Chains A and B, each alone.
Chain A
């Protein structure tokens, strides 16, 4: 394999391939598929399979952050992933963002320890704060856009640990209920962006399989509140 040409995937026609995120969006995604008449009972069991064939749609399951990779290459025609993933990978993958599925709502926030002034003090006295995050691109872009300097430190595990252990002054992280922050004595200081589940499409599938894609989009389209 050369590292210079994105690997093409053979697209044989047949069933549409939909990339499905395991993890936080899994249950609500299966609920959404049930609502459009696909029977996901088989997927809800403890099956270790990664690929499922349901009524004319092939579902391939993966980490949410892999969905744009599979969809960009055409290995999946469509995919479901969080807006947070799309924001973090912005520009890395060319996929069409075609529908807001409205579920999986959460917020990207800047948080610090309750009552702690170290973010402000670092800004004043050493020119920038230290921020730990699993979303370095979102964090860097946010501080750039708001005209502030920050040292963004990428961590892979529990990000709440960083300000408690003294690695960072604050964190940028995804918050659904806010309970994890609360339990660790952290509080939200600023809201960066909202996120919900999004339907994305491969650009060639969106054109060459237009009727099937549009049909699926209309069935998945959430009712306006």
Chain B
């Protein structure tokens, strides 16, 4: 008899489970070694809690009513529940707080696509430590984690979540045009971006060039110089923030695997300042990401700067397999 399971979910059998368990153990031990104690939060939260954390967001959670008529949601990431936990349970304790987690999160999928509804997420949150030190600390741990799981070729893309919001304000682009430009940037549709920028009345040639050239800048520290040449307060501030973080990463010896990337925008609504994505040359998809969310804990009544990252463990596992296969092929 075949009894189906919902699309976007799957069973895990012993061989894969053994490898995933080893991967989890490596990461938990490493996080603990850096002082990030593991916490667990409920899979179910009140929908109001997730909404409060997300602000504006395109990421959908599964929602339903419980037997008392309360609106509940399956957690769609681990960061918001941890922000709630810190504000609620550590109200009197002095920051910084360091926590790690491993758990499943759930997101609604579009039908007919090979998207997953349930994914295993592992990461850390550093709450109460500002930029650039806090950012550099989590990026160093992210880098060490990737080495620890054998992904020595993995790259960290580092960008700034506030750059375009502040730039558009500086250029006086508001309303419909602003939304359209941010959407095109998020999709990385450069053809559509040029059209959206050309629709803005009263934008001078210099503003136009800045908006069109910034998303193409990605590489080493030299791109900060190239961005600064475009001028403007928003660009100056963002490049300064990135430079400070980058300098710290140089000191910590992890700058080599960092690619500065001014095209980066993440899809979650709570990011401020530095944002990061993880790539491995063996895989066509991102392995994880994170960044600063300096306003998020404040939405739960306990303002403090914070940053974190999460890795999609199933994709990390796939990347391990691909890297091992490449290494075998290279050995002949």
Which residues of A does B touch, CB under 8 Å?
Answer: 2-6, 8-13, 72-75, 91-92, 96-100, 198, 202-208, 210-211, 214
Contacts and interface: CB of A to CB of B under 8 A. Distances in A.
A3 B325 CA distance: 22
15 contacts: A4-B7, A4-B8, A4-B9, A5-B116, A8-B284, A8-B285, A72-B284, A74-B284, A96-B188, A97-B187, A97-B189, A97-B191, A204-B286, A207-B157, A210-B218
Nearest to B216: A214
Interface of B: 7-10, 110, 112-114, 116, 155, 157, 187-192, 216, 218-219, 259, 261, 279, 281-286, 314-315, 318-319, 322, 325-326, 329
B279 A204 contact: yes
B286 A203 contact: yes
Contacts of B318: 5, 8
A10 B188 contact: no
Nearest to B325: A10
B82 to A, nearest CB: 26
The 5 closest A-B pairs by CB, nearest first: A74-B284, A96-B188, A97-B189, A100-B191, A4-B10
B285 A74 contact: yes
A8 B281 CA distance: 11
Contacts of A203: 188, 284, 286
The main secondary structure of chain B at its interface with chain A is mixed
Nearest to A7: B114
A96 B7 CA distance: 26
A32 to B, nearest CB: 16
A99 B187 CA distance: 14
Contacts of B110: 91-92
Contacts of B192: 97
Contact of A11 (B190, B259, B284): B284
A98 B218 CA distance: 14
B190 A4 contact: no
Contacts of A75: 284
B228 to A, nearest CB: 19
Contacts of B116: 4-5
Contacts of A10: 282, 322, 325-326
A101 to B, nearest CB: 10
Contact of B285 (A6, A98, A206): A6
Given A3-B7, A6-B285, A207-B157, 13 more contacts: A4-B7, A5-B314, A5-B318, A8-B319, A12-B329, A73-B284, A96-B189, A96-B190, A202-B284, A204-B281, A204-B284, A208-B155, A210-B259
A9 to B, nearest CB: 6
A12 B322 CA distance: 10
A4 to B, nearest CB: 5
B114 A6 contact: yes
B281 A11 contact: yes
A5 B319 CA distance: 13
Contact of B283 (A2, A204, A207, A210): A204
Given A2-B10, A204-B285, A208-B155, A98 B191 contact: yes
A99 B191 contact: yes
Nearest to B217: A210
Nearest to A83: B191
Q: Which of A5, A72, A92 has the most CB of B within 10 A?
A: A5
Contacts of B8: 4
Given A4-B7, A4-B8, A11-B283, A99 B190 contact: yes
Contacts of B191: 97-100, 198
A204 B219 CA distance: 13
Nearest to A101: B191
Given A2-B10, A207-B218, A8 B283 contact: yes
Contact of B281 (A13, A98, A99): A13
A208 B286 CA distance: 12
A202 B112 CA distance: 21
Contacts of B7: 3-4
B157 A98 contact: no
A98 to B, nearest CB: 5
Nearest to B116: A4
B172 to A, nearest CB: 27
Given A4-B7, A4-B10, A5-B314, A208 B189 contact: no
A8 B315 CA distance: 9
B114 A3 contact: yes
Q: Which of A4, A12, A74, A100 has the most CB of B within 10 A?
A: A4
A8 B189 CA distance: 23
A57 B32 CA distance: 46
B261 A207 contact: yes
B279 A208 contact: yes
Contacts of B157: 207
Contacts of A91: 110
B261 A8 contact: no
Contacts of A210: 218-219, 259
A116 B322 CA distance: 59
